[in-house]
Amino acid sequence: VGARSKTEAVITAVKDEIRLRKLSRIKAMAGKMEFTGTADELRRGDNRLG
């Protein structure tokens, strides 16, 4: 892990676990989301900003 203290090791482990859970939740949504905009519109960002 490369942590300098127990606290740092625990914090790193918790952050990694949260990251992995978020990633698995995102992967579970694959193919289930529907976008109304085209890829070009999504790339340009929020059109309300001008």
Residue boundaries of the structural domains of the chain:
6-49
The helix (run of H) or strand (run of E) holding residue 27 is helix 6-28
DSSP E strand boundaries for 1-50: none
Give tens-digit pLDDT for 1-50. 688 999 999 999 999 999 999 999 999 988 887 877 777 777 777 666 55
The model's pTM: 0.58
- Pairwise CA distance, residues 9 & 24, whole Å: 23
CB neighbours (10 Å) of residue 48?
5
